[in-house]
Amino acid sequence: MNVVGVERRSAWEWRVPATGAMRVPVVLYADATLLEGLDERALEQARHVASLPGIVGACYALPDAHWGYGFPIGAVAAFDPEQGGVISAGGVGFDISCGVRMLLTGLPRAVVHARRVELADALFDSVPCGMGRGGRLRLSDHELDMLLAGGARWAVKHEFGCEADLERIEERGCVEGADPGSVSLHARERQRAEVGTLGSGNHYLEVQHVAEVLDARAAAAFGLVEGEVVVTIHCGSRGLGHQVGTDYLREMLGAARSFGIELPDRELACAPLRSELGRRYLGAMRAASNCALANRQVITHIVRLVFARLFQQHELPLLYDVSHNTCREERHEVNGRECTLFVHRKGATRALGPGHPELPLDLRGAGQPVLVGGSMGTGSWVLAGTSASSQRAFGSACHGAGRAMSRNEALRRWTGSTLVHELAERGIVVRSPSFRGIAEEAPEAYKDVHRVVEIAERAGLARRVARLEPVACIKG
């Protein structure tokens, strides 16, 4: 990337001053190498986001940032409704409330590794994955309404989990203010048979072991023990969320002129938060968020059944569940004034610091678990929010490694069958309905996740707690 005009604030923070139509600066968290490798289009997108009405503070690009639709993926931006702030469907993304949850097994790596092939086959057979793949549940209109309003609470009520799970999910498993009536019939029909399914693309179900603990105190609070196995689930709101994004982007684009909004990019179609359209999108987005929470909860139940059958291990308590494609109403301090903001996090997760009242009591001393997915060949991380997190990027941290190349480029360089063989030689079992999907998600197609989380720590966004390595991966 051409760094002309980019000011260096520290070894880990850079600033692009507000010029032209920009209302706020762009702040980038990266080292010199990551900054140089950042796609020019991603910086242009960040500048466009900084030009939207009612934006406050800055548009933040996190260490895993890369080019996306409208907003860069790995971007955070907050809007003040009292200053004409907007909500952007492109700033949330198509996979609304896509997120990560982690389950603790208490099983030593050696026990699971010995049966990793059998385990991978059982999980692959039990959790439907792939484009358009349906599950075993098919909901009536009334049941779908209850799911969209209730999220993971709906799932627990129907015996897909337990009450203790809800304490470890953001907003206790249900986003308030959801409006199922603002979700189109087409979106609802796309979801009717997709509850409890993994989806495709970068979604995965991965069995991992704790390879290294860097923060013993936080790891103990999180229940992470070096050498023990965990299970990570990464998926979102499936076809319903995608359709909600498609429906409202189209409507917002058509209505922009009537709101007096000059869009720097059609993909940034948005509506004032105080408008009827803005309120309808919020209701639909929150319903889609509940869809994602319910989806991950049902998959959790299926995973527990598999472990109970193979290892007689019935517990698998939930460590935490975080979403990274959202817009939340939050209180933050801006220029010495505390105000209500709507914080868009696209490919970014909250990173609440120690003592935050929204955290469960048993996690409050350590800070919020931040679950950072890597790739099926390089490993993942658990971080924790810090006391400084709220002062940087509105209490946000990175969500993954971030792509370093497009899916098309990955397909030109690798074949799925070759990758499966190479990973198997390293003791990692991969199962997927599509070799193409595996090639698109080649480990080398992503940034170095270890460097990404190190920069996040040095920049004060979150601190490293534990490094995870893969044992078996189910790819969508």
Structure tokens that stand for 428 in this block: 């990692």
CA distance 52 to 44: 13
CA distance 87 to 184: 19
Residue numbers annotated as active site: 399
- The backbone torsions φ and ψ at residue 338, rounded to the nearest 5 degrees and listed phi first, read -80, 130
Structure tokens that stand for 235 in this block: 């998926």
CA distance 167 to 178: 20
- Beta-ladder partners of 469: 209
Structure tokens that stand for 1 in this block: 């990337």
Residue 384's nearest CA partner among 399, 394, 371, 402 is 371
Residue 236's nearest CA partner among 346, 368, 370 is 346
Query: Residues of 384-411 as b/e, b for ≥16 C-beta within 10 angstroms?
Result: bbbeebbebbbbbbbbbbbbbbebeebe
Instruction: Give one word for 169, left, alpha or beta, with left for phi > 0 and alpha for psi -120 to 50.
Output: beta
